[in-house]
Amino acid sequence: MTAVSLGRRSSSWVLILALSISGVLPGCGSSEKDPPEETPSPDAGSPSPDAGSPPPDGGHPPLDGGTPPTDGGNPLPDGGTPPTDGGIPPPPPPAFTWGNGTETGTLVGNVWTPGRDAEGLVNAASWELVPKGRWIEVAGTPLTSLDAAVKAALPGFRDLGSGGIAAVINAYSGVAVDAPRARWWAFGGGHADSSNNGLYRFDMAKMRWSIEQLPDNSANWTGVTYGITYSFYPPADAYAKAHPDSDVFNDEFFDPDRPAASTGNPVARHTYNGLVYNPDLQEVAFGVRRMWRYSLTTRTWKRHNPFNTPGASYNGATGYGGSQGWTFWDEVKHRYLFGPTENYNYSRWWSFDTDDQSWNWETITPPAWHFAQMVRVGRTLVSFPYPEAEHGSFPTFPPRLITYDMDTAKWGDLKLKHDLEVSRIYTDYFEGMIFTYVPPLNRYIAAFPYDRDGDGRREYRTFEVDPVKLELREAPQWEAGAFGGWHELVKNRFFYLATHDALVYVRKGEENLRVFRLP
């Protein structure tokens, strides 16, 4: 358990959903707080160019002359295949594979140093050295290990934030996971934490971070007055206000007076749970502020104004995607689901159809949004709100699973059997829920503050949720080994990977990755 640093609506068809979800679920993944905002504040983001097109060269300086190194530990992007004619992405990269070498590396206490083959792949024999049933640190895996490479590639680069590159994920940000290939991407920072808007990738095949796209170079922002936040670019903000009919918004680097700074890339920001990998289009996307999509084949960003709203007109009712956001890709309907928006109607999400480029309002979850964590299990989104007495008109105690069927657009409220006392639950604003699904066990693992001992200390406790028995029970076994405690801003950086039959925990940017092989 870890200390926290902070001091009904029911459906008529709940029984039907309870029966159906038990069939679906078995087969099927610091910084200042952001208070809710009625309209986007400067911290919320800024406009982008009228034409929406990036400047030459994608707005980025060449990486050592444009030719990336080729050694196995290369932190720079590894090539990339341009799209075929017609803009159709090429086939996805090959599935995850182990190295076939004999080097096993070492295990000292709860720290594992992987053994790799000649191509830099972690050997299968080395993974067998990792014990089961407890958390193990993977040596040499902090995101901060890339700091020197970023600065070497960008002369004059300086992160203006207080947290440096670690804050790319420490500052209220999650990751976009490509589970079949056991890799994920991080993009974040923002506010006072970090001005670093680079996109970074971690590959379990090599157990290393690499730079998918370099951040914008702060050396190009000479003369720009940046204040307490790096979530919006002041020249873009000024342009949007002066050109209210343009599609410029302050969440990108648009700068008529500084061509080198006018890259068209998104500024840093807290991404919450809003980053997602799209295997069909081979891109990473998020819907925090606006909708942004990074092509892994062309290595460029593209942004969309929700509902085609001019940037200067954004507010919660016109598609401004604010904090606490989730993003999911619907491969059946070819649409992105983004939510929630910052209009104090927390159950309202918006979607973007990639076939006809249409925007739509969606109703997905009841208004317990920022007290919940959400995972996708098959075609069902499953949310676990913080079990408190009441959030506005929607009680979340007793504890419950809230579900959304992506095909029928129906949501359900499934109450859980439990032994919690409502008086022992933390009752202030809290957005640090931990929640993920483990398919081989058909269990959810959850964590939240609870005063189990009755001594007034509301510490993080770890629980399991049985979706068949609809039962919540404490499960301290998931805290064994090099666990390190729950980090209240972990967002979706805690997940299961079938390639390794293990849980993965990206705790902090300055710490090693943690893995837990299932017994």
For 83-115, the pLDDT digits (tens) are 333 456 567 788 899 999 999 999 999 999 999
The residue to which tokens 């050592």 are assigned: 64
What angle is formed at CA 29 by the lines to CA 93 and CA 134, rounded to 5 degrees?
100
Question: Looking at residue 56, what is its pLDDT?
Answer: 30
Q: What tokens were used for 399? A: 């504890």
Q: What is the mean pLDDT of residues 37-58?
A: 31
Q: By the 8 A CB rule, do 230 and 268 touch?
A: yes
Among 500, 407, 504, 509, residue whose Cα is nearest residue 166: 509
Write down the pLDDT at residue 92. 74
- Distance between CA 119 and CA 97 in Å, rounded? 12
Whether 325 and 274 have beta carbons less than 8 Å apart is answered as: yes
Using the structure block, give the residue that is written with the tokens 């193990």. 136
Q: Domain limits of the chain?
A: 371-488
Compute the distance between CA of residue 302 and CA of residue 202 in angstroms, rounded to an integer. Answer: 22
Which residues are bridge partners to 464 per DSSP?
Answer: 445, 473
Residues, the chain: 519
Mean pLDDT comparison of 79-93, 320-334, 378-392, 439-453, highest-scoring range: 439-453
- Cα separation, 131 vs 481, in Å, equals 10
> How much is the pLDDT for 324?
64
Q: Give the whole-angstrom CA distance, residue 485 versus residue 487.
A: 6
313 — pLDDT class (breaks 50, 70, 90)? confident
State how far the Cα of 497 lies from the Cα of 503, in Å rounded to an integer: 6
- Looking only at the bridges linking them, the beta strands covering 291-295 and 301-304 are antiparallel
pLDDT tier for residue 78 given thresholds of 50, 70 and 90: very low
Residues facing 108 on adjacent strands: 111
For residue 450, is pLDDT > 70?
Answer: yes
Mean pLDDT of the chain: 82
Q: Is the pLDDT of residue 12 over 80?
A: no
At residue 388, the pLDDT reads: 81
Which residue type, as a one-letter code, is found at position 443?
Answer: R
